[in-house]
């Protein structure tokens, strides 16, 4: 069963790094891109769990039958809102009773490793200490589930100013950028990976191969995204990038000091003040909740459908498999490492 999709209500969304290599290369070409999108991508972490619950005990307790961090466990669960509405469950009968049954979904116990960030924080911590076969009901406050309805982030006041001042290395504004990367970065690139060859490093973006070594490849990229492409850079000259005017204010020993118009700021053209709201380019409304001479605290709407809601779960531990302390003998028929104890007293391999 694909628990990442079928049980998304309980599990945290995975973060893919499959495009990391291409992103590194693109970041070189469009070095100014991040300056034009300062209001997006706010990330929050570090919340601690505060869970209230009660349990139904069954059987005796031993260290092997008690959930601990690092254990791989399976659980059945029913998730409800404050009004009793079932929003998710691993049990087919309960889903049918609640009118949330999905024909394409396989209803079976959810498997995850405790303490590995695979679950929402409150759920992950609430199962620690539970016994095999035990059923426990606990309520997770919104801050330890999918977050409050509004999330606050404190940023430098300069990030939301109408104009951003940024020093950029001279080489990043050159018409032709030459960089060396590990050869593995180009494993999925189309084209000829030979000196003088052309390879595609992203959709609509090509690079010329300069040298190919045993472990590294050097490529050259036409930096057409530069606002000064094809022009000799001088103090006072202006260029445009994604509708933002960029002015060369000063030449330093290693780069250029640029004044970048920040039209993508949701507060562009407005006098900053507590209570001021503005919309990002994707339509998200941000509000300033606190302001000092150097910082601004901004409230951002939490987009998850369960944001701002306390969640109650009825959870039953179906199996517990502690981390193996022995070498992996799975290739031998006689290997017994990693046997899994279940609530029926049997073992699974």
pLDDT in tens, 121-167: 999 999 999 999 999 999 999 999 999 999 999 999 999 999 999 99
What residue ranges do the domains of the chain occupy? 3-17+43-149+305-319, 150-157+264-301
With vertex at residue 60, the alpha carbon angle to CA 58 and CA 63, rounded to the nearest 5 degrees, is 120
The tokens describing 107, both together, are 């209803």
* DSSP secondary structure letter of residue 150: E
pLDDT in tens, 78-131: 999 999 999 999 999 999 999 999 999 999 999 999 999 999 999 999 999 999
pLDDT in tens, 203-238: 777 899 999 999 999 999 988 888 999 999 999 999
Q: How far apart are the first and last CA of the chain?
A: 18
Confidence band of 322 (pLDDT split at 50, 70, 90): confident
Average pLDDT in the chain: 79
Judged against a pLDDT cut of 70, whether residue 51 lies above it is answered with: no
Helix (H) or strand (E) holding 5: helix 3-6
Give the bridge partners for 208, in sequence order.
Answer: 198, 220
In sequence order, the 6+-apart residues with CB closer than 8 A to the CB of 332 are none
Q: What is the largest CA-CA distance in the chain?
A: 79
**Rounded mean pLDDT of 265-277?**
95
pTM: 0.53
What CATH number has the domain spanning 3-17+43-149+305-319?
A: 3.10.50.40
Residue 62: per-residue pLDDT: 56
Residue 332: per-residue pLDDT: 46
């Amino acid at each position: 069963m694909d628990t990442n999709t079928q049980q998304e209500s309980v599990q945290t969304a995975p973060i893919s790094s499959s495009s990391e290599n291409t992103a590194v290369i693109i970041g070189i070409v469009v070095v100014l891109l991040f300056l034009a999108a300062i209001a997006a991508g706010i990330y929050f972490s570090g919340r601690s769990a505060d869970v209230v619950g009660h349990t139904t005990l069954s059987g005796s307790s031993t260290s092997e039958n008690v959930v601990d961090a690092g254990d791989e466990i399976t659980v059945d669960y029913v998730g409800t809102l404050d009004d009793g509405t079932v929003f998710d469950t691993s049990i087919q009968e309960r889903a049918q009773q609640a009118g949330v049954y999905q024909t394409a979904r396989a209803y079976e116990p959810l498997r995850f490793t405790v303490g590995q960030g695979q679950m929402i924080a409150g759920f992950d911590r609430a199962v620690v200490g539970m016994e095999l076969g035990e059923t426990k009901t606990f309520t997770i406050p919104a801050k330890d589930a999918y977050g409050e309805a509004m999330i606050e982030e404190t940023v430098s006041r300069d990030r939301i100013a109408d104009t951003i001042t940024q020093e950029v290395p001279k080489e990043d504004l050159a018409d032709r950028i030459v960089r060396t990367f590990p050869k593995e970065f180009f494993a999925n690139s189309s084209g000829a990976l030979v000196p003088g060859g052309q390879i595609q490093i992203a959709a609509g973006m090509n690079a010329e191969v300069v040298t190919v070594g045993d472990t590294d490849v050097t490529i050259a990229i036409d930096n057409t995204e530069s606002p000064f492409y094809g022009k000799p850079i001088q103090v006072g000259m202006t260029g445009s990038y994604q509708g933002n005017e960029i002015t060369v204010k000063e030449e330093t020993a290693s780069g250029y000091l640029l004044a970048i118009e920040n039209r993508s700021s949701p507060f562009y053209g407005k006098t900053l003040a507590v209570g001021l709201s503005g919309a990002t380019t994707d339509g998200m409304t941000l509000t300033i909740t606190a302001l000092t001479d150097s910082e601004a605290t901004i409230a951002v709407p939490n987009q998850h459908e369960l944001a701002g809601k306390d969640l109650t779960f009825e959870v039953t531990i179906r199996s517990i498999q502690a981390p193996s302390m022995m070498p992996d003998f799975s290739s031998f028929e006689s290997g017994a490492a990693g046997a899994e104890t279940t609530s029926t007293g049997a073992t699974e391999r």
